[in-house]
């Protein structure tokens, strides 16, 4: 025979968990959680957690991690870098593959 009190307890627990998850999802949708994460991780490498350093490559600003060597570009920085080289990455890649 099933214990009615245990089932009721489980139902309340499930309802509580459901409400908590609903609040977390709502916070994520409004960007509150993302803003908190961004503030805590500001100027830190997403891979290893070390403080990243600003540098430039071919006149384009970028962030580099001194520990793991990771590089992060802004939204348009990759496009700017690509425009500085007259050859396309496709040409460069296939010339290396062909041994030229």
What number is the average pLDDT over the span 48-69? 85
Structure tokens that stand for 75 in this block: 């939204």
- Binned at pLDDT 50, 70 and 90, residue 18 comes out as very high
pTM as predicted: 0.42
- Binned at pLDDT 50, 70 and 90, residue 86 comes out as low
Give the residue extent of every domain in the chain. Answer: 4-40, 53-98
- Binned at pLDDT 50, 70 and 90, residue 27 comes out as confident
The H or E element that residue 73 is part of is strand 71-73
Q: Quick check: 92 pLDDT over 90?
A: no
Cα 59–Cα 65–Cα 71 angle in degrees, nearest 5: 50
């Amino acid at each position: 025979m099933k214990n009615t009190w245990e089932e009721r307890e489980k139902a309340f627990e499930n309802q509580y968990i459901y409400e908590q998850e609903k609040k977390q999802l709502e916070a994520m949708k409004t960007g509150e959680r993302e803003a908190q994460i961004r503030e805590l991780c500001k100027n830190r490498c997403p891979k290893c957690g070390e403080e990243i350093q600003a540098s430039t490559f071919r006149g384009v600003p970028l962030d580099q991690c001194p520990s793991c060597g990771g590089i992060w570009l802004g939204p348009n920085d990759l496009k700017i870098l690509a425009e500085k080289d007259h050859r396309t990455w496709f040409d460069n890649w296939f010339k290396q593959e062909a041994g030229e």
